[in-house]
Amino acid sequence: MLKKISYILLLFVQVSFANVTLPALFSDHMVLQQNDDVKFWGWANPNEEVVIKASWSEIAYKIKANNQAYWEIKIKTPSAGGPYIIKINGYNEIILKDVLIGEVWLCSGQSNMEMSAAWGIKNGDKEVEKANHPTIRFFTVSKSSATSPQNDLYGNWEVCSPETMKNSSAVAYYFAQRLQEDLKDVPLGLMVSAWGGTPAEIWMPEEVIEEDNVLKEAASKLQPVEWGPTEPARAFNSMINPLIGYNIAGTLWYQGEANVGASKYDKTLEALIKSWRAKGENDFPFYYVQIAPFDYGKDHSGGVEIRDAQRKVLDKVSNVGMVVISDVSPTDDIHPKDKKPVGIRLANLALADHYKTYFKEVNGPLYKGISIKNKNVIVHFDNAEGLYFTNKKTSLFEIAGKDKIYHTAKVRLKKNEITIFSKEVKSPKYVRFSWGNTSVSNLFNKVNLPASSFTTE
């Protein structure tokens, strides 16, 4: 009888004094968003009081776990700095060390976002040698999939060193480096959640796809592959949902190659952006990379159609930006090795649009509209100051009438205005530029950034 009572008491103690636990995101070396009310959350015994004290403040934040053993609370952060210590006390104590306050960016997509120096990027060995940046931190999410939304994941914060940088996202690293040039070494936290070869649909909440017939039809056409999931929401559930709530400055996205062949990618990307913002209750900036020209096959134009769909999203969603990289990417490699200009161009977007510290042009020429005058078509561009062609002998402009049969156009460039025409088209109606999977733009502006492919259809 005494043994039975002792067993019951021991069981009662174990249940009553459950340890406070935290998601993997909250660990040593973490970076928290500066000047913000950042959310902390975790688990504890129901009604257990959790007390949080950060070394940058005298305030003791207190919260009790609910009947689901869950708690969350917002903590006010100071301006960039550190390192700090954060103590979390319940029946046990957790001490988070070497915590920095700065700017946090979520970096997601497929292999070109995942790609590290270890993959053999341009000048990778030299970059690795000098990658001692203790105020840059990586949280690289391990690959996993789930059929329902998860509340935790696998990963840990790491200080940027030659050893850690070598196996971390190169695009994210170059982005952080460039930001720190203008933001005066403000700490950078890079949460990298990427999976090579994956379509956008697996990175979206399932209900977003199920409730939209266009998205649902697109998702139904995805075929299984051996290197990752293609079912809706599988990566979102396990690699994005657990990150939601962690305060961020913005998101970087490099994906699209796995959706080549899709006809409504602009709708898909638009839905993805809006769903992430809705889940996080934050209209954060979303900057993405237009996929590079690549030979996907001569019997279709699926690659350039994705590039054009990405361009269209600029007009459909607020607070977004796109970088064009056709000038730094060979057409025979789906994994362009020169990641530095990609990261720098993304950073320049953020510095210009979000941080307001960079005042030069950060976008290449973008199609704005056309004016038709008899047989001539005037093509209007935004970001058009200093327009020039790198190859004046080759025209990448094509023109068509209502029959949609395209002919190479002759081009006149004068005072940043482009006029095109073709003897074969007496009544022009449609225009397209650099229209081909491997077509590389030859039109640039004064800051030497290339124009995006486009079609007026």
Q: List per-residue pLDDT tens for the chain, 457 residues long.
A: 444 444 333 333 344 456 999 999 999 999 999 999 999 999 999 999 999 999 999 999 999 999 999 999 999 999 999 999 999 999 999 999 999 999 999 999 999 999 999 999 999 999 999 999 999 999 999 999 999 999 999 999 999 999 999 999 999 999 999 999 999 989 999 999 999 999 999 999 999 999 999 999 999 999 999 999 999 999 999 999 999 999 999 999 999 999 999 989 999 999 999 999 999 999 999 999 999 999 998 778 999 999 999 999 999 999 999 999 999 999 999 999 999 999 999 999 999 999 999 999 999 999 999 999 989 999 999 999 999 999 888 999 999 999 999 999 999 999 899 999 999 999 999 999 999 999 999 999 999 999 999 999 9
* CATH homologous superfamily of 102-354: SGNH hydrolase (3.40.50.1110)
* pLDDT score recorded for residue 392: 83
Q: Whose CA is closest to 397, among 425, 427, 369, 432?
A: 432
- Verify cis geometry, omega within 30 degrees of 0, for the bond prior to 134: no
Q: Per residue in 215-224, pLDDT tens?
A: 999 999 999 9
DSSP code for 383: S
DSSP 62-97: EEE--TTSEEEEEEE--SSEEEEEEEEESSSEEEEE
Gyration radius (Cα) of the chain, Å: 25
Gap between the terminal Cα atoms of the chain: 84
Q: Which among 93, 87, 91 has a CA at the least distance from the CA of 64?
A: 91
- Map out the domains of the chain as residue ranges: 19-99, 102-354, 366-455
User: What CATH number matches the domain at 19-99, 3.40.50.720, 3.20.20.80, 2.60.40.10, 3.40.50.800?
Assistant: 2.60.40.10
254: left (phi over 0), alpha (psi -120 to 50) or beta: beta
- Enter the pTM of the model: 0.94
Does residue 283 contact residue 298 with C-beta atoms inside 8 Å?
no
